[in-house]
Structure 1
Amino acid sequence: MRKLVRFAAVAISLLTAPIAAAQDRFAGVEITSEPVSGNVYMLKGAGGNIAVLVGEDGTFMVDDQYAPLTTKIQKAVAGLAQQPLRFVINTHWHGDHTGGNENLGKSGALIVAHENVRKRVSTEQFIEAFQRTVEPSPPDALPVITFTDATTFYWNGDRVKVQHVGPAHTDGDSIVYFAEADVIHMGDVYFNGNYPFIDLSSGGSVNGMITAMDTALAMAGENTKIIPGHGPLSHRAELQQQRNILAELRDKVKAMVGEGQTRQEVIDAKPTAEFDAQYGQGFMTPDIWTGIVYDSLMRSQKKS
């Protein structure tokens, strides 16, 4: 959990930090690899968890963390396979998952993402929750292949389905299912061990998060390994538990909204209290998260 708090501090500060300062901040970051199943590995460093599928066809990567970490990530991948990196999938547009795009694109990898990811990284964005403006990414960082619903790769003896599940964390979320290895990379639809950040300014919604988790649960079996966007390697039962908790808390807040309670009244009521010791220790504090859920439900109410 402490790592997630540190991640948040890095993520927020890097939105406007000078390049030199960002590089200094990452000087002590180590990229570690963990075998998951078959030819799939999970890489951790700073930012979102990375999945790597290795084999004779070439290396296949899901997400790429921050630009100053690219060399370290490439070194870690080289320790797993000698084949070149061919594809990089972006699970969504946030910089802690796409920051390495430019470096990897220039090195010859093809960047693939949902069409909304390309729309967002190619234009100026404003993240309301952090009150930060994010400048457009350079051309070499943009996805060169996009899709609207799903796409499948037959690669390294596996069948890899990339499924759009947004709007959830954002409007461009995808989960990646390695069918033969039986591994799902969830992107930021799943923060293992913390309340998940829902980026309302990027089209996310609490209802969409729950629906996206249901999609992943329908794919997963009892032994499926699940790579969360942040946090330790997980499994179906753990994902199901968080999904149920999110639904329960969503329903509590929804009932308060229906009673006409204000945003502050809902926050002051501490609807998450029962779960705060387990999920409320990260950068999404209980009050901040409750406010986001309230805002999400109010926006859904206005649309209906």
Structure 2
Amino acid sequence: MTMKNAGLFGVAVSAAALLAGLGAPSLAAAQQTPYEMINAAAASSDITTTPLRGGVVLLQGSGGNMVAMPGPDGLLMVDDGISLSKAKVEAKLHDIQPTGIKYAVNTHWHWDHTDGNVWVHDDGATIIAQANTAKHLGETIRVVEWGHTFTPLPAGGRAALLVAKEKTLPYGTDVLRLRAYMPSHTDGDLSAYFTKADVLLTGDTYWNGLYPFIDYVAGGSIDGMIAAANANIAMAGEKTIVVPGHGPLGDRASLIEYRDMLVTIRANVAALKKQGKTLEETIAAQPTAAFDAKWGQMIISPALFTTLVYRGV
């Protein structure tokens, strides 16, 4: 599961420093892993809420984007963030509806989307996920780019309700449609679409204004990311509010722009690799240069994204 690129960890450290709002990493920050810096950012950040449509509320400030929607038996959540933010997230959820959590959907297994599983389960939530996500949350997995080995969550923090291909969940005034992607960001990604509110959550198959991470250890690939981007475009209408895994709200046009970026960079990297270029030579050729000003300024650097694409072509 380890990666061959010796420079990859250093690239990820610099990227995570940007995520944490630190700019160039200080000596102390450079001694932290990206996982530690991201957790520190979550611990110090406020949780913000943004009403979307049809009662759906966006929560930001604890890892990946989350949403919550009130219903007759409590809240329905999609993703639950990093557990260090528990008290702040709970306070915001109480403001939305003070009756606890009925369901919590995991869009994939990464801790910045699922680390709250244990406490939301203790609050009474039934956790819903694709089968591979539930499996990964019960495994020990080393993610080199984050500098961390993830250990199994307690059984209660893993999904009790699994989605094979598609599931509809009537709740409150809406119907949530869950669909499993083919392996893309990971091999366990789900989209979540509030059909009446017309709000689509893509998980980490879509990062708005950011190069995405691709988890090859857990079955992800650049080709799968492109396929997922096309699936998201097909699901979104002209008025759909699109909630990415990371970054600001998007729409169908921004999904198309993101897909086109992935396709172009994949083609650029594949052409260089076909010429016999090494990874280092490919990075030096700057195959992402046309997109770096918009997409390469936070979290995943151009060099790291080139590395991830190179691995998959």
Q: If the length of structure 1 is used for normalisation, what is the TM-score?
A: 0.90
Q: Which residue matches 2:155?
A: 139
* Residue 231 of structure 1, aligned match among 247, 256, 271: 247
Equivalent residue in structure 2 for 1:111, among 127, 130, 134: 127
Q: 1:13 to 1:106 in 2, by over 3 A?
A: farther
For 1:274, what is the secondary structure of its paired residue?
helix
Aligned runs of 1:196-211 on 2, under 5 Å? 196-211=212-227
**Residues 194 and 114 of structure 1, relative CA distance in 2, 3 Å threshold:** same
SS of equivalent to 1:202: coil
Amino acid at match of 1:81: Q
CA contact (8 A) 1:64 1:99 kept: yes
1:88 Cα offset (Å)? 0.1
Within the candidate set 101, 105, 109, 1:85 is matched to: 101
Across the aligned residues of Structure 1 and Structure 2, the Cα RMSD in angstroms comes to: 2.4
Match of 2:10 in 1: none
Letter in 2 for 1:6: A
Question: CA–CA distance in 1 between the matches of 2:87 and 2:263?
Answer: 40
Matched, 1:62 2:81: no
Runs of 4 or more off by more than 4 Å in structure 1?
1-4, 7-10, 14-17, 24-27
Residues 26-83 of structure 1 deviation map (CA, whole Å, 9 limit, x = unaligned): 5532111101111111000120000112233431000011112122112101111233
CA drift of 1:193 comes to 1.0
* Aligned position for 2:175: 159
Please tell me the residue identity of whatever aligns with 1:190: Y
Q: How far is 1:245 from its partner?
A: 1.0
Retained in 1: the 8 A contact 2:33–2:146? no
Per the alignment, in what secondary structure is the counterpart of residue 52 of structure 2? Answer: strand
After TM superposition, the score normalised by the length of structure 2 is 0.87
SS at match of 2:71: coil
Answer yes or no: is the 8 Å Cα contact 1:129–1:199 preserved in 2: no
Is 1:174 aligned with 2:190?
yes
Q: Is the 8 A contact 1:165 1:173 kept in 2?
A: yes
Partner residue of 2:300 out of 267, 270, 284? 284
> C-alpha distance in 2, partners of 1:4/1:62?
25
Are residue 5 (structure 1) and residue 34 (structure 2) matched? no
* Contact 1:15/1:134 (<8 A) preserved: no
Q: Is the 1:206–1:296 Cα contact (8 Å) retained in structure 2? A: yes
Q: Which runs of 5+ in 1 are unaligned?
A: 298-304
Kindly provide the amino acid, as one letter, of the partner of residue 236 in structure 1.
R
Q: Are residue 28 (structure 1) and residue 64 (structure 2) matched?
A: no
Check 1:144–1:230 CA distance in 2 against 1; reply closer, same or farther (3 A cut).
Answer: same
Q: Deviations over 1:169-193 (max 9, x none)?
A: 1111111011100000111111111
| Percent identity for Structure 1 against Structure 2 | 36
Paired residues, what number? 292
Does structure 2 retain, via aligned residues, the 8 Å contact 1:58–1:156?
A: no
| Matching residue's letter, 1:5 | L
Structure 1 residue aligned with 2:235: 219
Structure 2 unaligned spans of 5+: 1-14
CA contact 1:127–1:202 (8 Å) conserved in 2: no
Distance 1:131 1:73 in 2: 26
Alpha-carbon shift at residue 259 of structure 1 (Å) = 2.1
Q: Supply the AA of the counterpart residue of 2:270.
A: K
8 Å contact from structure 1 (residues 7, 46) kept in 2: no
What displacement does 1:5 show? 1.7
Instruction: Work out the CA distance in 2 between the residues paired with 1:86 and 1:196.
Output: 30
SS at the partner of 1:175?
strand
CA separation in 2, counterparts of 1:182 and 1:202?
A: 30
Of 37, 41, 44 in structure 1, the residue corresponding to residue 60 of structure 2 is 44
Q: Does 1:251 align with 2:285?
A: no
* Conserved 8 A contact 1:128-1:201: no
